[in-house]
């Protein structure tokens, strides 16, 4: 099959390795995160170029709140700054921003900037960028189960009517397609509480390259590998 026709419609990325990059370069972890921010812009541009319509980026996990206060504060400041500074570019490039996660946990200034960026890009159509922020998949699924249980309790729904589609409709990702390809940088072979439900049939691709070093060649390699995969969905 023509590889061009096998462009993933949704790529989900675990952007890992900023700390190791900083260690390698003997600089502060903050510098690694800053370089990681530059990679985000690079990958957004690559998705637009290749015609990938959805990109979900794991930017901060529920568990990442457990890092030092200094690192958490730095990451939140960086996020706010990134959202503010990149907004004109998002507009110019026709990028629509979304966010998934426990957004109420974000510092108020950061949350306001996020809401502004989401609202102002709502009409854009070239690429959907979903930021997973304060995101944990088990928490997401638990919250969805609670909402479904409440519906049953109120008599709006019979237990037998609970289907995978119904549960999907209660996740943060309700209106989004499932990822076709999940990329993790920095070599760890794990999911780290990321999109457990949504990645059911995603193709996985892990590279040892650290996120700040992730570039065009790595992205191309992931797409080429994806194009070769035979997605069987349990069938023969």
Catalytic residues: 16, 64
Contact (CB, 8 A) for 21 and 210: yes
Q: Which among 144, 233, 225 is positioned nearest to 182, based on CA atoms?
A: 225
Q: Does 50 bind ligand IPE (CB under 6 A)?
A: no
**CB count, 10 Å around CB of 236?**
3
Q: How far is the CB of 20 from Mg ion (least distance, A)?
A: 8
Cα torsion through 78, 82, 84, 86, rounded to 10: 170
Q: Which is nearer to ligand IPE, 117 or 186 (CB)?
A: 186
By CB under 5 A, what part of segment 186-215 binds Mg ion?
Answer: none
Of the candidate residues 8, 13, 16, 127, the single one contacting Mg ion (CB under 5 A)? 16
C-beta of 20 vs 50, nearer to ligand IPE: 20
Q: Which of 190, 216, 228, 231 binds ligand IPE (CB under 6 A)?
A: 190
The DSSP secondary-structure symbol of 231 reads: -
From the list Mg ion, ligand IPE, none, which binds 192 (C-beta under 5 to 8 Å, kind-based)? Answer: ligand IPE
- Of ligand IPE, Mg ion, none, which one does residue 146 interact with (CB within 5 to 8 Å by kind)? none
Closer CB to Mg ion, residue 16 or residue 80?
16
**Does residue 188 bind ligand IPE (CB under 6 A)?**
yes
Alpha-carbon distance of 157 to 140, in angstroms, equals 21
- Residue 151: Cβ within 10 Å count: 16
Considering only residues 53 to 92 of the shown chain, the ones binding ligand IPE according to CB under 6 A are 58-61, 64, 75
| Closest CB 138 distance from ligand IPE, rounded Å | 13
**Which of ligand IPE, Mg ion, none binds 219 (CB below 5-8 Å, type-dependent)?**
none
Instruction: Please give the structure tokens belonging to residue 90.
Output: 């998002």
Crossing angle (nearest 10°) for helices 69-92 and 29-50: 30
> Please, which residue, 16 or 203, has the CB nearer to ligand IPE?
16
Measured between alpha carbons, how far is 224 from 67 in angstroms, rounded to an integer?
Answer: 36
130 strand-pairing partners: 56, 98
- Least separation in angstroms between residue 177's CB and Mg ion is 27
Closer CB to ligand IPE, 137 or 148, in the complex: 137
Q: How far is the CB of 77 from ligand IPE (least distance, A)?
A: 13
Sheet containing 203-206, strands listed edge to edge, beginning at the edge strand earlier in sequence: 95-100, 127-135, 54-61, 10-14, 181-184, 203-206
As measured in angstroms, the least distance from the Cβ of 58 to ligand IPE is: 4
């Amino acid at each position: 099959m023509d590889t061009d026709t096998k462009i993933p419609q949704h790529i989900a990325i675990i952007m890992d390795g900023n700390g190791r990059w900083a260690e390698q370069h003997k600089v502060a972890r903050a510098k690694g995160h800053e370089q990681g921010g530059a990679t985000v812009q690079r990958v957004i541009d690559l998705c637009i170029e290749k015609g990938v319509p959805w990109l979900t980026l794991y930017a901060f996990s529920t568990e990442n709140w457990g890092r030092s206060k200094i690192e958490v504060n730095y990451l939140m400041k960086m996020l706010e700054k990134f959202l503010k500074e990149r907004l004109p570019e998002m507009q110019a490039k026709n990028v629509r921003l979304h966010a998934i996660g426990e957004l109420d946990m974000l510092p108020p200034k950061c949350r306001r900037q996020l809401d502004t960026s989401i609202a102002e890009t709502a009409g854009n159509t070239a690429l959907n960028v979903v930021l997973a922020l304060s995101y944990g998949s088990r928490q997401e699924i638990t919250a969805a189960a609670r909402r479904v249980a409440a519906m049953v309790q109120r008599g709006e729904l019979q237990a037998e009517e609970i289907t995978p589609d119904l549960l999907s409709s209660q996740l943060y990702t309700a209106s989004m397609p499932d990822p076709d390809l999940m990329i993790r940088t920095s070599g760890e072979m794990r999911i780290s509480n990321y999109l457990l439900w949504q990645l059911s049939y995603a193709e996985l691709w892990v590279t040892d390259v650290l996120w700040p070093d992730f570039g065009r060649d790595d992205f191309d390699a992931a797409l080429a590998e994806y194009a070769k995969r035979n997605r069987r969905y349990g069938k023969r």
